[in-house]
Chain A
Amino acid sequence: MRTRIIVFPGSNCDHDAMHAVRNVLGEPDTEFVWHKEDSIGQDVDLVILPGGFSYGDYLRTGAIARFSPVMKDVIRYANEGGSVLGICNGFQVLCESGLLPGVLIRNESLKFVCKEVYLNVERDDTKFTNQLSHGEVLRIPIAHGEGNFIATDEVLADIEANNQVVFRYADAEGNVTRSANPNGSSNNIAGIISKEGNVLGLMPHPERACEAILGSADGLKIFQSLQRSLITTEHFSTSAL
């Protein structure tokens, strides 16, 4: 699985994503791509937009990163059906770039929230979640000040009607309640997928929950899902042949 992790100035979860994919998942063909590059390269199976504070969250979260040179190629790649996973700041970049609907604003509490949350899995039929079960509860950390997902009423209705919500904040039993919502997100939305099913954005950090020693390995299932759906594309280096 050829994975490319985009590094913006201010990205700070890029190495976590690298560790999760290369070392824990065991995919050696995983590399960083600096945002100044014009291209993500050839035959890429997965692009990850990592968490962090690209451009110091200036103007709006993700707003300037969205116009980094490499994003033109990421948008082309996504529009051609390529798989893109945006985590935290990556989710904010995806919304700003229009690859996902809505926008992420300041947490309702006004506080930066850094803790483990529970997510109810709403979709198990995507390439990001095929190793999960509908209704399964994941325990994954969040760490953000602006993770409050909003959209216009029409867009929100559209997201729900198209079944684009993949994860919702829930309690440990999977009940989607007001008190389980850590940031005020509309409809407890923690992660959504594009209509085409190839772009997923979520505020929680699955890459930080891939090993039991870190407190939870639930996030690994998302990467294992991708591995399972994308593994059909095999790449061999010329030296291996």
Chain B
Amino acid sequence: MTYFVYIAIERKEAILDPQGKAIEHALGSLGFREIENTRVGKLIRLSVDAANPDEARSIAEQASGKLLANPIMESFSVIQVKTEPGLR
């Protein structure tokens, strides 16, 4: 059956994140003084045809390792495997 697999991709801490910086500055000017070190990553949803959620997860992890994330500058994590689209 089809599983909706959500993968979060995050840049490593040492890697520059201009979008995160810009958002952080905007939040600061809105008065959110308690927010710092804002980082922007990617959320990718795959529809995976698999026998069970574990298999869907495994296929998504292979895809992430091969293409979706570059291990030199990013890390990835499968955050949800669902039978319906949409994050909880």
Residues of A within 8 A of B (CB): 59-60, 63-64, 67, 96, 102-103, 105-106, 108, 110, 148, 150-152, 155, 184
Measured between alpha carbons, how far is A107 from B68 in the docked complex, in Å? Answer: 21
Secondary structure dominating the interface of B: loop
Q: Which residues of B contact A108 (CB under 8 A)?
A: 16
Chain B residue nearest to A67 in the complex (CB): B67
Measured between alpha carbons, how far is A88 from B15 in the docked complex, in Å? Answer: 20
Which residue of the partner chain, among A59, A105, A184, contacts B73 with CB atoms under 8 Å? A105
Some 13 contacts from A to B, beta carbons below 8 A apart, are: A59-B67, A59-B68, A63-B67, A63-B70, A67-B67, A103-B70, A103-B72, A105-B15, A105-B16, A106-B18, A110-B16, A148-B16, A151-B72
Measured between alpha carbons, how far is A59 from B67 in the docked complex, in Å? Answer: 9
Contact B70 A96 (CB under 8 A): yes
User: How distant is A200 from chain B, measured CB to nearest CB, in Å?
Assistant: 19
Chain A residue nearest to B16 in the complex (CB): A106
Measured between alpha carbons, how far is A110 from B67 in the docked complex, in Å? Answer: 25
Measured between alpha carbons, how far is A216 from B18 in the docked complex, in Å? Answer: 33
User: How distant is B10 from chain A, measured CB to nearest CB, in Å?
Assistant: 13
Residues of B within 8 A of A (CB): 15-16, 18, 67-68, 70, 72-73
Contact B72 A110 (CB under 8 A): no
Q: Which residues of A contact B18 (CB under 8 A)?
A: 106, 110
Q: Which residues of A contact B16 (CB under 8 A)?
A: 105-106, 108, 110, 148, 184
Chain B residue nearest to A60 in the complex (CB): B70
Contact B72 A102 (CB under 8 A): yes
Contact B67 A152 (CB under 8 A): no
Chain B residue nearest to A148 in the complex (CB): B16
Measured between alpha carbons, how far is A102 from B71 in the docked complex, in Å? Answer: 10
User: How distant is B69 from chain A, measured CB to nearest CB, in Å?
Assistant: 9
User: How distant is A185 from chain B, measured CB to nearest CB, in Å?
Assistant: 12
Q: Which residues of B contact A110 (CB under 8 A)?
A: 16, 18
Contact A103 B73 (CB under 8 A): yes
Chain A residue nearest to B72 in the complex (CB): A103
Q: Which residues of A contact B70 (CB under 8 A)?
A: 60, 63, 96, 103
